[in-house]
A and B are shown apart, each in its own frame.
Chain A
Amino acid sequence: MQNSARGAVATAIWIILATVMIGPVLVATTSPYLAYRNTAYIIGGFAGIISLSLLLIQPLLAAGYLPGARAITGRKWHRWVGTAIVVCVGLHVGGLYVTSPPDTQDALLLVSPTAFSVYGVLAMWGIVLTVALVILRHRMGLRYATWRLVHNGLAAIVVAATVTHALQIEGAMETVSKWGLCIAVVAATGATLIDLRLIRPFFAPKGGWINGDPNARKQKAGDEPPA
């Protein structure tokens, strides 16, 4: 492919991705419900919407699919987006707690009348565990293969729980844009996991690829991959 064509494709990919991610957030800003809510509720709600939106780009960055953010650059962004998700989840729970302490306590203690609260709390604990593993994985001496498996498993749980949580909520998000984003999030996570963990290992050349990167050379078990 010529450079200009490649550039056009790259631009198109980023425009589509940005539209799917930012569109639903912008639509939600037009919700009439916002006029009836206090600042903490609005911040908490949008922190949740943005978390959902960030879950779309997160696996694509990890896998290095995105033009301009391949391999190491993608991984670096993956860490920043991961940090942003953690901050947003903190703001989400905190904002809701300030808005209505009893409703948030019920949710956290899993005695809320709303079923979606359980999925929200499940996703939150999945993220808490992910953060704990990110911090402790070297200290725990986790092998890279183990870490990858646990991290992917947690990611799948977080995505499934978050989407289930979001779809059941009647809130600021508009229905069609919410479903669009949720389907995209599930598709991105599912496709990435299937590609990285099933397809690529299956077709990997003898000697192996590391994490889907054909340029990386296979290392001994327990070795860190190139950062």
Chain B
Amino acid sequence: MENDNSGLKGETNMKSPFYNRRSFLFSAGLASAFTALEPFGLLSPASAIGLAPTRSMRGGSNNYRPNAPMVDRLGSGFWVSGRVRRAGDGAPLEGVRIQIWAATTLGGEREPRNHGSVLTAADGSFRLEMEQIVPNFGQPHAHLAYDDGAYETVFLRPVMPSASDTSVSTEFVLAPV
């Protein structure tokens, strides 16, 4: 623009070639389509087909030791619990193996005594008693994994709101492979 005044004059006098009804409708359409997509969720693929699968959490697989032994309990006083459902129809999944590990009063996340697996009941629920979880790397948290092939693998890392909590609960929604 050579001169501010002439530019302003020009714009008010002519039909703006840069922004008309067609471009407004086009950009508005793009914007609404965009909001319907993933982060805004108005029309996410998951809601179209029902219950969305759980995504793995950052750091969820850290210090994972595949095939933790099936256990009745790993200790006492702290409960890790949750529920496993199928993506889409939300049906509870029975007999699914969930692997659990965490830093407890027995030691860190790599301590074998802090690793164990449980199976889900008919209603999809699971729970495991272990020693008190203690903050590890700055946060009190547990690790849970589904990694058995029939569904997409999921690693969770739920954080306890308080280090003095005596339980932590989470949920898996698994997508068939």
State yes or no: do A and B come from one complex.
yes
Closest-CB distance, B154 to chain A (whole angstroms): 15
B104: nearest chain-A partner, CB-CB: A36
A103: which B residues are within 8 A, CB to CB?
59, 62-63, 137
Check if B139 is an interface residue, CB within 8 A of chain A.
Answer: yes
B58 A38 Cβ-Cβ under 8 A: no
Check if A170 is an interface residue, CB within 8 A of chain B.
Answer: yes
B159: which A residues are within 8 A, CB to CB?
113
Given A36-B104, A36-B107, A37-B108; A102-B138 close (CB under 8 Å)? no
A38 B138 Cβ-Cβ under 8 A: no
A113 B157 Cβ-Cβ under 8 A: yes
Q: How far is the CA of A52 from the CA of B56 in the complex (A)?
A: 34
Interface of A is mostly: helix
> Residue B138 contacts which of A35, A36, A37, A170 (CB distance < 8 angstroms)?
A170
B134: which A residues are within 8 A, CB to CB?
33, 36
Which B133-162 residues have a C-beta within 8 angstroms of A? 134-140, 157, 159
> Residue B59 contacts which of A33, A113, A116 (CB distance < 8 angstroms)?
A113
B138 A113 Cβ-Cβ under 8 A: no
B159: nearest chain-A partner, CB-CB: A113
Interface 1/0s, chain A 91-120, versus B by CB < 8 A? Answer: 000001001101100100001111011000
A171 B59 Cβ-Cβ under 8 A: no
B106: which A residues are within 8 A, CB to CB?
36
A96 B104 Cβ-Cβ under 8 A: no
B105: which A residues are within 8 A, CB to CB?
35-36
Which A41-75 residues have a C-beta within 8 angstroms of B? 41
Query: How many interface residues does B have (CB within 8 Å)?
Result: 24
Q: How far is the CA of A106 from the CA of B60 in the complex (A)?
A: 11
A35: nearest chain-B partner, CB-CB: B105
B135: nearest chain-A partner, CB-CB: A170
Closest-CB distance, B21 to chain A (whole angstroms): 45
> Residue A96 contacts which of B135, B137, B140 (CB distance < 8 angstroms)?
B137
Closest-CB distance, B106 to chain A (whole angstroms): 7
Q: How far is the CA of A169 from the CA of B138 in the complex (A)?
A: 4
Check if A219 is an interface residue, CB within 8 A of chain B.
Answer: no
A111: nearest chain-B partner, CB-CB: B58
Given A33-B134, A102-B63; A112-B58 close (CB under 8 Å)? yes
Interface 1/0s, chain B 96-127, versus A by CB < 8 A? Answer: 00000001111111100000000000000000
Q: How far is the CA of A170 from the CA of B59 in the complex (A)?
A: 17
> Residue A38 contacts which of B107, B137, B139 (CB distance < 8 angstroms)?
B107
Check if B163 is an interface residue, CB within 8 A of chain A.
Answer: yes
Check if A168 is an interface residue, CB within 8 A of chain B.
Answer: yes
Check if B43 is an interface residue, CB within 8 A of chain A.
Answer: no
B137: which A residues are within 8 A, CB to CB?
96, 100, 103, 114
A106 B135 Cβ-Cβ under 8 A: no
Identify 11 new A-B residue pairs, CB closer than 8 A, beyond the known A36-B134, A103-B137: A36-B104, A37-B108, A38-B108, A113-B59, A113-B139, A113-B159, A114-B59, A117-B138, A170-B135, A170-B139, A170-B163
A-B contact pairs, 10 of them (CB 8 A): A33-B134, A36-B103, A38-B108, A102-B63, A103-B137, A106-B59, A114-B59, A114-B137, A168-B138, A171-B135
B-binding residues in A (CB < 8 A): 33, 35-38, 41, 96, 99-100, 102-103, 106, 111-114, 116-117, 168-171
